[in-house]
């Protein structure tokens, strides 16, 4: 019985990209990313994750903060009695 020949997996494409914007009840904010890397056969090589904030400009960060304020405002309107 011989050894099976394996082909080296090379990252060649990007699959799904996810961005998580989070503002915790205590006010802490974070923005994280997940990128799914695919090999030459289109198979997942696993996600790569990290903090997105160091890659954003001040304008982009301010835009994301404004978006989160808007989302929170809309969410609060869904609470009865608000």
pLDDT in the model for residue 24: 87
More confident residue, 47 or 3: 47
Q: What is the pTM of this model?
A: 0.74
Task: Count other C-beta atoms under 10 Å from residue 31's C-beta.
Answer: 19
Query: What pLDDT digit, counting tens, does each position of 25-61 carry?
Result: 888 999 999 999 999 999 999 999 999 999 999 999 9
Q: What is the dihedral of CA 72, 74, 80, 82, to 10 degrees?
A: 80
Phi, psi of 79 (to 5 degrees): -80, 125
Domains of the chain by residue range: 11-77
pLDDT at 1 over 70: no
Residues facing 35 on adjacent strands? 17, 48
pLDDT in the model for residue 4: 83
């Amino acid at each position: 019985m011989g050894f099976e020949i394996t082909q080296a997996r090379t990252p060649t494409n990007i699959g799904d990209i996810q961005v998580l914007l989070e503002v915790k009840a205590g006010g802490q904010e974070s923005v994280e990313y997940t990128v799914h890397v695919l090999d030459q056969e289109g198979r997942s090589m696993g996600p790569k994750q990290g903090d997105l904030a160091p890659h954003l400009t001040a304008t982009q960060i301010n835009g994301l903060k404004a978006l989160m304020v808007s989302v929170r405002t809309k969410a609060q309107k869904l609470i009865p009695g608000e």
